[in-house]
Structure 1
Amino acid sequence: MINDATEPPSSTEPEILRYAAFATDPGGGNPAGVVLDATGLSDERMLAIAAEIGYSETAFLTPGAAAGHHTVRYFSPLTEVPFCGHATVASAVALADRVGPGRFRFATRAGEVPVEVAEGADGVLRATLTSVEPHVAEAGAADVAEALGLLGWSTADLDPALPPRFAYAGARHLVLAAATRDRLARLAYDFDGLAAYMTARDLVTLQLVWRAAPDVFHVRNPFPVGGVVEDPATGAAAAAFGAYLRTVDPSAAPATLTLHQGEDLGRPGLLHVDLHGSAPRVRVSGAAVPIG
C-alpha cells in the first residue's frame, strides 16, 4: 500500500491513499483519494481534505459492524456528491490491498452498493460495482437547447439515434450523444454557466458520448459543479449510461459495453458496463492501481 504522506499518519490525521481507477497504469484513468478510516472526521474536515488532494473525488470510509461493510461518503474539492463510481472502485481495491480480494458492501447516500474485487491474470486487482436501481427520464427541448448552447454545440452535432435523456444510477447525469468523434474531442464550454445549469437540475456531470461500434463508446464528463473541468473516468456516469442505452436502444442488451474515457486528457481509462441479466441494476468494472 502506498501512502503519499512524507511522515506516518498521526492519531489525529487520517491516512490518505491515492489510486488511479479504471486503469492499470498510475498515469491513466481517474485519480481518487481514499481514506479507509474516516471515523470522527467532520464534514468540514472531509471537504478540506478533498480540496487539498485536488482530485475530482475523495472517498471517506467508516468501517461498519460486519466485516466488509463500510459507510462511504464522497467529496469533490467543492462539494459532497451522493455517489462516485471511480472512487468506489479505488476504495474497494485499496481495501483488497489490505485484506485480500473479496466482496464488500458500501452504504452510500444513494443506497447500498455491493462491490466485488478479483485479481486478474495480469496480477492487477479489478473491482465490479453494482449500482443502485437506475432510472431514465426525458430531457425537454429547452433543457437540451440550453445545455448545447453552454457547450457550444448545435442540434446538428447530435447523434439522432441516441436522443438526449437524464439518467440516474446513484448520481444524475444528462446524456448527450455526439454525431462524430471530432465533435466529442473539441470540448470547450462555459464553466460557470454550465455549473449553474447543472446545479439547478441536480446534475453531477454531463455524459458526452460517441458510438464507435454497437457496444463501444468514447465518453467525456464535464464536472464544473465539483470544481473540475473534466472527470477523466466516471463510473457513476457509466452506470447511468448503461441504464440509458438499455432504455433508448433495447437491442443493445444483453451486452458488455466498453467505454473509453480520458484519451483526450492524456489519461486513458477503460470501463466495462455489464447489461446482462434481467435485474435493472447496472454493473461497472475496472482496474485500479496505487499512485506512487
Structure 2
Amino acid sequence: MSQIPGIEVLRYTAFSADPEGGNPAGVVLDASGLDDAAMLAVAAELGYSESAFLTGREEAGGEETPGGAGASGGAGASGAREYTIRYFSPKAEVPFCGHATVATALALAERDGPGDLVFGTRAGTVPVTVTREGGELRATLTSVEPDVADIAPDDLAEALAALDWPAADLDPALPPRIAFAGARHLVLAAATRERLADLRYDFARLEALMHRLDLTTLQLVWRAAPAVFHVRDPFPVGGVVEDPATGAAAAAFGAYLRAEGLVPDTALLTLHQGEDMGRPGTLTVELRAGDARVRVSGTGTRIGD
C-alpha cells in the first residue's frame, strides 16, 4: 500500500505471480472524490504505464454510488459486482487498459473474494471473472466488440521508419493491421525473434504518428509456434518507452488473428511479453466460435512498498 497526497494507492503487477514480472499498475479502489487532474497526478507520480481508478459502483438497480475501500460493489442481475473504472497513463487518460483491469479485479478479489465483476469503461462494458487456482488468483476479462482495419501504406511506411525496421524484416504471413478491442493498436509481425528483440525507436516520431492515428500501442509480435507468440508494445503516447504486458493489445491481437484466418475460430493462445525488459509475463488469449469478444486472462500479485 502506498499513500500519495492522502490517497490510498495499491500496487499490483498483472500477468505474473512474481512482483518483479508482468506489468505493474496503481489501483485506487475509492477515487470517487478525485477529479481528472488528481487522477493524472497520481498516475504520473507512480510512473507506471497505467493506473486504474474506481470512481463509483453500480447498485443492483443501476444507481451509481461513490466507491469505497471498505464496501463491495453493487450486484447486478447476474450477481456480478459492478463498478465504474477509469485509466490514466502518466500523460493522459486512456479508454481501456487490460493489465490495470486485471490488477483491479485481483485487488477486489483479495478484499471481497473471487467472483464476477463488471467494469464500466469509456470503451464499453468489460466483464471480469476472478477464480482461485492452486492458491493463486486468476482474472479473465472479456473485451468489448473488436474491430480490425487496414493501415494506409504511407502510415505503415512512417511506422517502420520510426522503428527503424526495414520492410523486409516483417513476416509476410501476418500482414500489418490496426486492431481494436477497447483501444487501437497497430499490429506488426517480425520475421525473427532477433528483429523483435532489437527495439530502438524514434520516440518523438512514433509518438506523433500514434497520436495522428489514435493508437494506444504498437503490438509487435513474433510467432514462435501456431498458438504461441512473443510480443512487445512501444507506448510513447503514454510517456513510457515500452509496456511490459498489455492486456488490451492482447485482446486486439486475438481479434486480428481470427479476422485474418490465422488461427481457428476456437483457439487458446499464449503470449509471452516483457522478457526483453526483464519483466517476463504470460497472457492467455481465448477465442470462442460464435462470440466476437476476446477473453484475456492472467495471474497477478501485490507489490510491496
| Structure 2 length-normalised TM | 0.91
Partner Cα distance (1:112, 1:80) in 2? 17
Kept in 1: contact 2:2–2:8 (CA 8 A): no
Which residue pairs with 2:279 in the alignment? Answer: 267
Which residue pairs with 2:193 in the alignment? Answer: 181
Which residue pairs with 2:240 in the alignment? Answer: 228
Give the drift of 1:250. Answer: 4.7
CA shift in 2, pair 1:205/1:278, >3 Å: same
Which residue pairs with 1:130 in the alignment? Answer: 142
Which residue pairs with 1:97 in the alignment? Answer: 110
Stretches of structure 2 that go unaligned for 5 or more consecutive residues are: 60-73, 75-80
Which residue pairs with 2:9 in the alignment? Answer: 16
Partner Cα distance (1:87, 1:55) in 2? 10
Kept in 2: contact 1:167–1:175 (CA 8 A): yes
Residues 276-287 of structure 1: pairs in structure 2 closer than 5 A: 276-287=288-299
String of CA shifts for 1:23-78, please: whole Å, max 9, x gaps.
01000000000000100200000000000111000000023232211110000000
Q: CA RMSD in A?
A: 1.1
Stretches of structure 1 that go unaligned for 5 or more consecutive residues are: none
Which residue pairs with 2:260 in the alignment? Answer: 248
String of CA shifts for 1:168-214, please: whole Å, max 9, x gaps.
00000000000000000000000011001000000000000000000
Query: Secondary structure, in 3 states, of the residue corresponding to 1:240?
Result: helix
Which residue pairs with 2:23 in the alignment? Answer: 30
Residues 133-144 of structure 1: pairs in structure 2 closer than 5 A: 133-144=145-156
Residues 166-245 of structure 1: pairs in structure 2 closer than 5 A: 166-245=178-257
| Structure 1 length-normalised TM | 0.95
Deviating above 6 A after TM superposition, structure 1's stretches of 4 or more consecutive aligned residues are: none
Q: Is residue 44 of structure 1 aligned with residue 37 of structure 2?
A: yes
Kept in 1: contact 2:23–2:281 (CA 8 A): yes
Which residue pairs with 2:65 in the alignment? Answer: none
Partner Cα distance (2:141, 2:58) in 1? 21
Percent same amino acid at aligned positions? 67
Kept in 2: contact 1:215–1:252 (CA 8 A): no
Which residue pairs with 1:147 in the alignment? Answer: 159
Kept in 1: contact 2:58–2:84 (CA 8 A): no
Give the drift of 1:251. Answer: 4.0
Partner Cα distance (1:230, 1:182) in 2? 17
Q: Is residue 85 of structure 1 aligned with residue 83 of structure 2?
A: no
Give the drift of 1:280. Answer: 0.4
Partner Cα distance (1:63, 1:100) in 2? 19
Partner Cα distance (1:238, 1:129) in 2? 11
Which residue pairs with 1:57 in the alignment? Answer: 50
Kept in 1: contact 2:16–2:298 (CA 8 A): yes
Query: Secondary structure, in 3 states, of the residue corresponding to 1:281?
Result: strand
Give the drift of 1:140. Answer: 1.7
Kept in 2: contact 1:256–1:275 (CA 8 A): yes
Query: Secondary structure, in 3 states, of the residue corresponding to 1:70?
Result: strand
Q: Aligned letter for 1:81?
A: V
Which has a greater percent of strand?
2
Q: Aligned letter for 2:283?
A: L
